[in-house]
A = this chain, B = another copy of it.
Amino acid sequence: MSHPPARPPRRADARHNADKILDAAVACLSRNADASVSEIAQSAGVGRVTLYGHFPSREVLVEAALQRVLAEGEKVLESLDLTGDPRHALSVLIRSSWLLIAQSSAVLEAAQTALPPERVQQLHLKPAQRVDELIHRGQATGAFRVDLPPDWLTSVLHHVMHGAANDVAAGRLDRTDAPVFITETILAAYAPTGR
């Protein structure tokens, strides 16, 4: 090291760096599931040595990023009442957390190539259940169409939210329009077929 630090790093600095690295990891992995450790370090404004001091491998870093984004989503989702009319519950879910869910599913995509499948499943089980349950309940009560499988309905929700997040990032879609457009689109796509 040609430039030794002026003072030894304090615990608060270390925590701050770990936070910055995780924020950068979530942002980079959302954009590109194959983002490298160097890209993430650069985006966080820290050196690779500092990054590896906190997260000894890409696998550990991806898992921590996934845990972080899922925990943030959980904080929002657990405050929502999703027990009423499934169409209303779905609107509430989208409006309150579309961007967080879009980020989570992008980081999840990255985790699927970086972590063992059981680990990903285990981490993602609870958040995924909330959406799965809502879709199943909607199909069971006739609020949502049943001519398409529930897994596909879940996928469509994620594809549209993820695509909209990219549109917003690229300046093609207004951030305040996004949740309204997503909700209107998904409610129509999920509506029972009575043509």
Interface residue ranges, A against B (CB under 8 Å): 32-35, 109, 112, 145, 147-148, 151-152, 155-156, 158-160, 162-164, 166-167, 170, 172-173, 177, 181, 184-186, 188-191, 193
> Is there an interface contact between B188 and A145, defined as CB atoms closer than 8 Å?
yes
A109 cross-chain contacts in B, Cβ below 8 A: 166
- Among A112, A147, A185, residue most surrounded by chain B Cβ atoms (within 10 Å): A185
Q: How many copies does the complex hold?
A: 2
| A193 touches which of B152, B158, B172, B188 (Cβ 8 Å) | B188
Which of chain B's residues has its CB closest to A113's CB?
A: B170
Secondary structure type dominating chain A contacts: helix
The CA-CA distance from A189 to B160 in the complex, in Å, is 11
> Is there an interface contact between B189 and A167, defined as CB atoms closer than 8 Å?
no
Which of chain B's residues has its CB closest to A178's CB?
A: B152
How far, in Å, is A165 (CB) from chain B's closest CB? 10
| A32 touches which of B34, B147, B166, B193 (Cβ 8 Å) | B34
| A181 touches which of B33, B148, B177, B184 (Cβ 8 Å) | B148
A33 cross-chain contacts in B, Cβ below 8 A: 32
**Given A152-B177, A160-B160, A188-B193, 8 more contacts at CB 8 Å?**
A32-B32, A145-B188, A147-B184, A148-B184, A151-B172, A155-B172, A185-B189, A186-B189
The CA-CA distance from A126 to B177 in the complex, in Å, is 28
How far, in Å, is A131 (CB) from chain B's closest CB? 15
A184 cross-chain contacts in B, Cβ below 8 A: 147-148, 193
The CA-CA distance from A155 to B179 in the complex, in Å, is 14
Going nearest first, the 4 A-B pairs with the smallest beta carbon separation are: A159-B163, A189-B189, A188-B189, A159-B159
The CA-CA distance from A145 to B109 in the complex, in Å, is 32
- Among A112, A148, A186, residue most surrounded by chain B Cβ atoms (within 10 Å): A148
The CA-CA distance from A172 to B152 in the complex, in Å, is 9
> Is there an interface contact between A173 and B191, defined as CB atoms closer than 8 Å?
no
